[in-house]
Amino acid sequence: MEPINNQEVIDKVVHHNSGAVSVFIGTVREMTGDKQTRFLEYEAYVPMAEKQLEKIGDEITSRWPKAKTAITHRIGRLQISDIAVTIAVSTPHRQDAFEASKYAIERIKEIVPIWKKEHYSDGEEWVGDQKGINSYPEGFPEGIEK
């Protein structure tokens, strides 16, 4: 998949009543503890991931009614320092923009069906459980509507 163009994501949320745009950029890290990443591979359940990303946009609008949100996530093979995700949120004032962009990345890590496979210098592994979620006794995590 093509690299993310940050400016294109930002341009989707800038409008005449926005006074702040908060941008979060997630990049591929080389060292995790003493593990060295060579490259990453992202896989997604694309149609559902798109719906869940839209849902995050809706959640942000219900919490910060004047916010506009754009999120682009890359899939496929990524190298160290490549951009995996770019989130842009515009609001009239800065505090809401900071909070809403943080909200967006936290929700991505909870509800959007995207997975990364770490290709380390000494092996490979599908990563899960980044938020310490060990099990879903009800069949779905808190905050996910059936």
Partner 1 sequence: MVQVLLFASLAQQAGTQKILMDANEFPASVEEVRKILQHKTGQLKGIENSLVAVNEEYAGLADKVKDGDTVAFIPPVSGG
Q: Does 146 bind partner 1 (CB under 8 A)?
A: yes
Q: Contact with partner 1 (CB under 8 A): which of 49, 60, 67, 83?
A: 49
Long-range contacts of 84-87 (CB under 8 A, 24+ apart): 84/26, 84/27, 84/28, 84/40, 84/42, 84/116, 85/4, 85/24, 85/25, 85/26, 86/4, 86/6, 86/9, 86/23, 86/24, 86/25, 86/26, 87/9, 87/23, 87/24, 87/25
Specify the residue, 14 or 144, whose C-beta has the smaller distance to partner 1: 144
Q: Does 70 bind partner 1 (CB under 8 A)?
A: no
Binding interface with partner 1 (CB under 8 A): 26, 42-45, 47-49, 51, 73, 84-85, 105, 108-117, 126-130, 133-136, 138-141, 144-146
